[in-house]
Chains A and B, each alone.
Chain A
């Protein structure tokens, strides 16, 4: 993940103080520096992730409590409570599954997105502003790209176990009929990272927080939860609102999860489209975050 930061092929120290030729080793101090730079160049992103997860440990109580509390509360309230009121015939064309089975993969994906919105919003702005750790890290051999990559890895360290726990509760509640249901964990993580990467690239551009993040949560993320086919199929929305679902990564991630968890019927091209759409969001957000971060740290 670390990658090479800059073109290095042609940069032999011509005219160095030691006066050695282009082929020979550079001065002792240059060689010492190059040797010392090897490990950080290779593993820098992991070091960053190590640091970030250490910071997360400060609120590990919250992480564990939400990681367990969320699935219990939502699966119970929606799957067991609300299900008694809702028509069971919601699984999509031709499939009849319980409301719990229908809603569970959506809740799983939503949980991943929630973690992403927590970890890729204020903590990122904070690392530039209030607790400017990114600037501190940047003064070490670590590159801005590695800072971004390490941040991504550290969120995975929280998101993947949380999703696994969520999935285990889904199993306990009997909400996963398909044998390949566990793949919905991957769908959820992909959704979380797709949203998170784009969110990070945006938050990294903010100079101060004058309410933009809160605004984005209220008018971007909350509607996304409501219009992404989470609680009812997108087809039940009026046609003029359905486009919200189509552009929403959460809808794609949710539908993908449903394919895995109960074999929701849909054309194969659509399944492929879900994967590609999520990948596109992630790659865009990831590369944009790297660019924005590099620019911001290079003052």
Chain B
């Protein structure tokens, strides 16, 4: 296996006494697409800032591209593309000028920057917004421009903190497509998300993070295999009855999970479990059989829903 581009061991970040990141360890291989999946406040962004060599770790060890960010911050950052959770484009500059100005920070010659800026405006499908003010772009366009800016130095590692939050489905799919292409070209992707579908689509491997700790690690498929059943039966009896009905469901499926609005029955065969339930004389208002997802993994690991 080639040497990893990121190695974190027992990485910790404390704000006063509060450990936002509490001793996490992971490695990312070159060309891999690695995800951090977790709810609000899990410590995803804090981890990304440490990996981005802008936030000093409290303890533990971190090596990016074989260098310690405490000693080689600028050198490491020269190899990164960073898409922060909140866009921080320069709204005083025009769209394309944002790329040009940013490229100069990497010591790139003006000519190179100009040429790449044109290519990236096309890559982000913003050719007709070259002269637009940043403020006049839609949220999705700003996000795409931020990603384009992160690519101006042709980074080895692209850090994406919730790249598609706030985008409509169409804009998300355009972004996913762009990220796929980068991955095909060999760029290492590290991304955070709290969308399971995004994690399943984009990540070769991911860690589930909660309260600053890693709960599980693996490929999306492996995690689902390990922590969930093949299928899930969702039944609703109305919010006031779910609890009470759940007691009668004991023994059905491999596991039963009660949420405020529905009951989840984990099983290899959801239809069969639904039959069992009707045989008990229970008639759910609605029922649905689906495949297990990372959402179920998360629920299993933390006892909480990923999106509250």
Note all chain B residues with C-beta closer than 8 A to A7: 71
Complex: how many Å from CA A27 to CA B89?
34
Note all chain B residues with C-beta closer than 8 A to A6: 70-71, 73
Determine whether A44 belongs to the interface, using a CB cutoff of 8 Å to chain B. yes
A34 CB, min distance to chain B CBs, angstroms: 5
Note all chain A residues with C-beta closer than 8 A to B30: 29
Complex: how many Å from CA A211 to CA B265?
57
Determine whether B289 belongs to the interface, using a CB cutoff of 8 Å to chain A. no
Assign chain B's interface to a size class: 35 or more
User: Which of A5, A38, A136 is the one whose CB lies under 8 Å from B89?
Assistant: A136
Contact B75 A140 (CB under 8 A): no
Complex: how many Å from CA A36 to CA B88?
24
Q: Which residue of chain B has the shortest Cβ distance to A130 in the bound complex?
A: B91
Contact B90 A47 (CB under 8 A): no
B59 CB, min distance to chain A CBs, angstroms: 16
Q: Which residue of chain A has the shortest Cβ distance to B156 in the bound complex?
A: A29
* Interface-centre pick from B91, B93, B107 (highest chain A CB count, 10 A): B107
Note all chain B residues with C-beta closer than 8 A to A18: 3, 66
B94 CB, min distance to chain A CBs, angstroms: 10
Determine whether B68 belongs to the interface, using a CB cutoff of 8 Å to chain A. yes
User: Which of A30, A38, A299 is the one whose CB lies under 8 Å from B67?
Assistant: A30
Determine whether A279 belongs to the interface, using a CB cutoff of 8 Å to chain B. no
Note all chain A residues with C-beta closer than 8 A to B3: 17-18, 27, 29
Within 8 A of A (CB), among B82-104: 82, 84, 88-93, 97, 101-102, 104
User: Which of A5, A39, A54 is the one whose CB lies under 8 Å from B73?
Assistant: A5
User: Which of B55, B80, B88, B107 is the one whose CB lies under 8 Å from A299?
Assistant: B55
Contact A139 B52 (CB under 8 A): yes
Note all chain A residues with C-beta closer than 8 A to B84: 135-136, 139
Contact A131 B92 (CB under 8 A): yes
Contacts A8-B71, A17-B66, A29-B5: A131 and B78 contacting too (C-beta < 8 A)? no
A: number of interface residues (CB 8 Å): 46
Determine whether A298 belongs to the interface, using a CB cutoff of 8 Å to chain B. yes
A136 CB, min distance to chain B CBs, angstroms: 4
Which label, helix, strand, loop or mixed, suits the secondary structure of the B interface? loop
Complex: how many Å from CA A139 to CA B73?
10
Contact A141 B72 (CB under 8 A): no
B131 CB, min distance to chain A CBs, angstroms: 14
Complex: how many Å from CA A206 to CA B231?
53
Contacts A11-B71, A29-B66: A39 and B107 contacting too (C-beta < 8 A)? yes
Contact A299 B79 (CB under 8 A): no
Contact B73 A43 (CB under 8 A): no
Determine whether B56 belongs to the interface, using a CB cutoff of 8 Å to chain A. yes
Determine whether A142 belongs to the interface, using a CB cutoff of 8 Å to chain B. yes
Note all chain A residues with C-beta closer than 8 A to B153: 140
Determine whether A201 belongs to the interface, using a CB cutoff of 8 Å to chain B. no
Which label, helix, strand, loop or mixed, suits the secondary structure of the A interface? helix
Interface string of A172-200 (1 = CB under 8 A from B): 00000000000000000000000000000
User: Which of A11, A29, A131 is the one whose CB lies under 8 Å from B65?
Assistant: A29
Note all chain A residues with C-beta closer than 8 A to B79: 29, 32-33, 36
Contact B97 A54 (CB under 8 A): yes
Determine whether A40 belongs to the interface, using a CB cutoff of 8 Å to chain B. yes
Determine whether B18 belongs to the interface, using a CB cutoff of 8 Å to chain A. no
Q: Which residue of chain B has the shortest Cβ distance to A16 in the bound complex?
A: B66
Within 8 A of A (CB), among B38-78: 49, 52, 54-56, 63, 65-68, 70-78
Contact B106 A40 (CB under 8 A): yes
* Interface-centre pick from B73, B102, B104, B105 (highest chain A CB count, 10 A): B105
Determine whether A160 belongs to the interface, using a CB cutoff of 8 Å to chain B. no
Within 8 A of B (CB), among A243-289: none
Q: Which residue of chain A has the shortest Cβ distance to B135 in the bound complex?
A: A131
B90 CB, min distance to chain A CBs, angstroms: 5
Q: Which residue of chain A has the shortest Cβ distance to B52 in the bound complex?
A: A139
Determine whether B139 belongs to the interface, using a CB cutoff of 8 Å to chain A. no
* Interface-centre pick from A7, A47, A136 (highest chain B CB count, 10 A): A136
User: Which of B54, B88, B89, B93 is the one whose CB lies under 8 Å from A55?
Assistant: B93
Note all chain A residues with C-beta closer than 8 A to B65: 27, 29-30, 32-33
Note all chain B residues with C-beta closer than 8 A to A41: 74
Contact B104 A51 (CB under 8 A): yes
Note all chain B residues with C-beta closer than 8 A to A36: 75, 78-79, 106-107
B68 CB, min distance to chain A CBs, angstroms: 7
Note all chain B residues with C-beta closer than 8 A to A40: 74, 78, 105-107
Complex: how many Å from CA A37 to CA B104?
12
Contacts A298-B54, A299-B54: A139 and B90 contacting too (C-beta < 8 A)? no
Determine whether B7 belongs to the interface, using a CB cutoff of 8 Å to chain A. yes
Given A33-B72, A54-B101, A139-B54; 4 other pairs, CB 8 A cutoff:
A11-B72, A27-B3, A32-B79, A36-B79
Using a CB–CB distance below 8 Å, which chain A residues touch chain B? 5-8, 11, 13, 16-18, 26-27, 29-30, 32-34, 36-41, 43-44, 47-48, 50-51, 54-55, 58, 131-133, 135-143, 297-299
Using a CB–CB distance below 8 Å, which chain B residues touch chain A? 3-5, 7, 30, 49, 52, 54-56, 63, 65-68, 70-80, 82, 84, 88-93, 97, 101-102, 104-107, 153, 156
Of the A-B pairs whose beta carbons lie under 8 Å apart in the complex, a sample of 7, sorted by A's number, is A18-B3, A26-B67, A33-B78, A51-B101, A136-B88, A140-B106, A297-B54
6 closest Cβ pairs, A-B complex: A39-B107, A37-B75, A17-B3, A140-B105, A36-B78, A141-B74
